[in-house]
Amino acid sequence: MIPAKFDYEVAESVDHALELLRTRDDAKLIAGGHSLLPLMKLRLASPATLIDVGRLKGLRGVRDGGDHLAIGALTRHNDLNRDPLANQHCPLLAYAAGLVGDPQVRHRGTIGGSLAHGDPASDLPTACLALDATIVAQGPNGERSIPASAFFNGFFDTALGDDEIITEIRVAKNGAAGWSYLKFRQRALDWATVGVAAVVEGSNGTVGTARIALTNMGQTPLRASATEAALSGAPRDAVKQAADKADEGTDPPADTWASSDFRRHLVKVLTKRAVEEALSR
């Protein structure tokens, strides 16, 4: 498998990348390349120019931002998975990063690339959605911050402009909240058939607030709003009842792994388990 021909440019800086994006037609950014290159090999994508941002070392790594962690867009999944700050303050994200693809993919794939790709079956978009992360992008008009809740527009479609590049992901420190990410798939190397991320605060036998996001249940990662509402202030024995609403507002795909109806069933089971696991942490 060989991609169709293209031009290749190495971005020396974020500004250089932006300039290349502005001046080249039909250009795509490439970081780890583990979402884009497979599509190019199958000739399902044939950009005229690739702009390699993979050498922008300044965008790699996790920084303590006080009340939040600032994760460079080029931080690789494996580094995020093993990062001490991430494991301490944002364990859900670190854990989910360890479930993406396989070790080789995690050595190359980046969080920024994963978010920009906008695949509803990916793990990190769901984790960022559950964590109310903020995606920081640079564009021709400077920097802007996009809440995860406004980032995923549609199937492989995000709020990121064609002339923009993600530079950083900001995630509030976890504090006392419990968390869980359950990824249901048949093989370890598969995408999630369904995934559920839960961030839950509870006290004295009741659930406080719950943020629950779903993988591969629609065109984008989705929040399980009905379940979140039902859990707010609810007694702990109401978890199952609340989880049974997890498929409300979803539009799960049907494919060779599962029918749409089975995904609706799975998401309820996984949501119950994820909330219970989060409450136990």
Partner 1 sequence: MKRITVTVNGVAHEKNVEERELLVYFLRDALGLTGTNVGCDTSSCGACTIHLDGESVKSCTLLAVQADGAEVTTIEGLANGSMHPMQTAFQQHHGLQCGYCTPGMVMAAVSFLNENPSPSDDEIRHGLEGNLCRCTGYHNIVKAVAAVAAGEVS
Partner 2 sequence: MATTERPAPSIGQRKLRKEDPELLTGSSRYVDDITVPGMLWAVMVRSPFAHATIGGIDTSAAESAEGVFAVHTAATLELGALVMAWPINDECKAPPHNPLTSDKARYVGDPVAVVVADTKEHAIDAAEMVVVDWQPLPAVTDIKKALEPGAPIIHDDLGTNDAGSWIMSRDSPAPVRNPSGPYFDDPELVKIKEEYYLARLIPNAMEPRGVVVDVNASMGEYTVFSSTQIPHILRTTLAITCGVPEAKLRVVAPDVGGGFGSKLEAYPEDAICLGLAKLHGRPIKWTEERSEGYVATLHGREMYQQIELAATKDGVLKAVRVKLWASMGAHMRIITPGIPMLGAWLYQGCYDVEGYDFEYTNVFTNNTFTDAYRGAGRPEATYAIERAMDALARTLDMDPVALRRKNFIATERFPNYTIASGLTIDSANYHGTLDKCLEMLDYEGFRADQVANRASGDTKVIGVGFSTWLEMCGIAPSRVLAALKYIAGGWDAATVEFMPTGTVRVLTGVSPHGQGEVTTFAQIVADQLGVDFEDVEVLHGDTQVVPLGLDTYGSRGLSVGGVALFKAGEKVLAKARTIAAHELECSEDDLEFAGGNFTVKGTDKSANIKALGFSAWSAHNLPDGMEPGLTATALYDPPNFSWPNGAHACVVEVDTETGAVKILRFVAVDDCGVRINPNIIEGQLHGGIAQGIAEALYEEATYDEEGNLQQGTMTTYMVPGAPELPTFELGHTVTPSPTNPLGVKGVGEAGTIAAPPAVINAIVDALSHLGVTNVERPATPERVWSAIQGAKR
State which of residues 14, 24, 37, 265 lies at the interface with partner 1 (CB under 8 A).
37
Q: Minimum distance from CB of 182 to partner 1 (Å)?
A: 16
Contact at 8 Å (CB) between 17 and 25?
A: no
If contact means CB under 5 to 8 A according to the sort of partner, which of partner 2, partner 1, none does residue 159 touch? Answer: none
Query: 204 contacts which partner out of partner 2, partner 1, none, CB within 5 to 8 A by kind?
Result: none
Identify the three-state secondary structure at position 212.
strand
**254-278 as b/e: b if 16+ CB within 10 A:** eeebbeeeebbebbbbbbbbbbbbb
Q: Which is nearer to partner 1, 5 or 176 (CB)?
A: 5
Least Å distance, CB 57 to partner 1, is: 12
C-alpha span between 214 and 221 (Å, rounded): 6
Q: Cβ 269 to partner 2, closest distance in Å?
A: 5
262 part of the interface to partner 2, by CB under 8 A: yes
195 in contact with partner 1 (CB under 8 A)? no
204 binds partner 2 (CB under 8 A): no
Neighbours of 6 (CB within 10 A): 16
Beta pairing, strands 49-52 & 27-30: parallel
In degrees rounded to 5, what are phi and psi of residue 101? 50, -125
For residue 221, give the amino acid letter: P
Please report whether residue 52 would count as binding partner 1 according to CB under 8 A: yes
CA angle 145, 91, 181 (to 5 degrees): 95
44 touching partner 1, by CB under 8 A? no
Q: What letter does residue 191 receive in the DSSP assignment?
A: P
26 neighbors 46 (Cβ within 8 angstroms): no
Residue 52 interacting partner from partner 2, partner 1, none (CB closer than 5 to 8 Å by kind): partner 1
Shortest approach of partner 1 to residue 252 CB, angstroms? 23
To the nearest whole angstrom, how small is the minimum distance from the Cβ of residue 218 to partner 1?
24
With contact defined as beta carbons under 8 Å apart, do 110 and 123 qualify? no
Give me the residue label for tokens 């859900």: 92
Range in contact with partner 1 (rule: CB under 8 A) among 181-189, 191-199, 203-211, 259-267: 181-189
Residue 32: C-alpha distances to residues 43, 124, 249, 280 (Å): 18, 15, 33, 36
Q: Is 34 in the site for partner 1 (CB under 8 A)?
A: yes
Tell me which of partner 2, partner 1, none is bound by residue 162, counting a contact when its beta carbon lies within the kind-specific cut-off of 5 to 8 angstroms: none
Instruction: Among 258, 275, 278, 279, indicate the residue that binds partner 2 (CB under 8 A).
Output: 258
CB atoms under 10 Å from CB of 144, counted, come to: 13
Cβ atoms of 91 and 171 closer than 8 Å = no
Of the ranges 16-24, 29-37, 158-166, 185-193, which one interacts with partner 2 (CB under 8 A)? 185-193
- Contacts with partner 2, residue ranges (CB under 8 A): 1-2, 4, 42-43, 184, 186-190, 193, 256-259, 262, 265-266, 269-270
- Contacts with partner 1, residue ranges (CB under 8 A): 1-8, 10, 30, 33-34, 37-38, 41-42, 50, 52, 54, 78, 82, 101-105, 107-108, 187-189
